């Protein structure tokens, strides 16, 4: 895996290494100090200049999709989904198991998924068309799609945005949940503590967003999973708009820059027993993934931190 190989290179050659891939210079940061300079100190020159359309879209997303107010108003959606999953589990208890839990695509599920994605895109087109034809000014009937239409976005732009949100949110969320379960299975003591906390705080009730502040050990398990297994081991690449100096090294103009979040989360300079799944390290710690602690950046940091972070906090924590 690239992030693992690059982490090994950094152990031999230092926190900031450069590679030449053909004519392209690639610079990789693998420590929190290097990440600080790239993501915050030199953020404006070590990123592609954004045009007005991009800035406007990010503003719309943050205000109308990922704001705290919107997250709170949509909390019932997650609670409803939990209830549906619970009833599905009750109905599914007596069914025979299949090959769904294995990586092999013997049942053609991956192929089917691709076909479904194509069908979803076609469904969006009809919904967008209906919204354009029956646009309403009633605030109670407004949602994110209405906001995009009112802001003047074309059908192609809306389709592209929806696909990006779907792909960015679905796989990253599911992979984190899978890693969390894998680590808990390997750590029966941690699994027992999570189970006891849930039984004590939730009992037989369905979990709600309001229960999350009362589940510190569960939150610690999620953070520890993200530390060891960030959903994006290499943060989105950047490009140097001008030459600049980082950690006494010159970064040439047009160099591509990667930040290895996987290596940073396992750096022994920042973490005791970095390869051990130990949720307790977060129980009495202020370290969080909001971008202020550069030793823990599964969602990035600085001005270009993941815009969906508020949603992810509600989903995982």
Residues contributing to the annotated binding site for heme:
306
CA–CA separation, 108 vs 114, rounded Å? 10
Structure tokens, 279: 């949720």
Structure tokens, 122: 């076609």
CA–CA separation, 83 vs 85, rounded Å? 5
DSSP state of 299: T
Q: Match 């010159």 to its residue by tokens.
A: 250
Annotated binding site: 306
Structure tokens, 231: 């959903």
Q: Match 């972070």 to its residue by tokens.
A: 309
Structure tokens, 118: 């194509």
274: nearest Cα among 300, 305, 253, 295: 295
- Name the helix (H) or strand (E) containing 173: helix 155-186
Residue 305 near residue 299, CB atoms below 8 Å: yes
CA–CA separation, 121 vs 118, rounded Å? 5
Residue 226 has a CB neighbour count (10 Å cut-off) of: 22
């Amino acid at each position: 895996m690239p992030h693992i190989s690059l982490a090994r290179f950094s152990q031999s050659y230092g926190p900031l290494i450069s590679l030449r891939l053909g004519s392209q210079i690639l610079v990789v940061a693998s420590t929190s100090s290097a990440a600080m300079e790239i993501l915050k100190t030199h953020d404006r020159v070590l990123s592609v200049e954004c045009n007005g359309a991009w800035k406007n879209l990010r503003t719309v997303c943050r205000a109308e999709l990922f704001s705290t107010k919107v997250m709170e108003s949509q909390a019932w959606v997650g609670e409803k989904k939990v209830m549906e999953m619970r009833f599905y589990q009750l109905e599914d208890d007596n069914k025979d198991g299949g090959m769904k839990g294995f990586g092999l695509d013997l049942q053609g599920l991956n192929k089917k998924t691709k076909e479904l994605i194509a069908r979803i895109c076609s469904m969006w087109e009809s919904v967008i068309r209906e919204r354009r034809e029956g646009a309403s000014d009633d605030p109670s009937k407004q949602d994110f799609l209405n906001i995009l239409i009112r802001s003047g976005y074309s059908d192609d732009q809306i389709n592209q945005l929806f696909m990006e949100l779907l792909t960015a949110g679905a796989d990253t969320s599911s992979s984190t949940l899978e890693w969390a379960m894998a680590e808990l299975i390997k750590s029966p003591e941690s699994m027992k503590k999570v189970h006891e906390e849930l039984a004590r705080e939730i009992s037989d009730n369905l979990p709600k967003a309001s229960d999350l502040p009362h589940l510190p050990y569960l939150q610690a398990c999620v953070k520890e999973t993200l530390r060891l297994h960030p959903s994006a081991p290499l943060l989105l690449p950047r490009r140097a708009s001008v030459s600049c100096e980082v950690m006494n090294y010159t970064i040439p103009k047009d160099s591509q820059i990667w930040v290895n979040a996987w290596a940073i989360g396992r750096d022994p300079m920042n973490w005791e027993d970095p390869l051990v799944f130990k949720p307790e390290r977060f129980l009495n710690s202020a370290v969080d993934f909001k971008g202020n602690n550069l030793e823990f950046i599964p969602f990035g940091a600085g001005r270009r931190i993941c815009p969906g972070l508020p949603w992810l906090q509600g989903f995982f924590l």
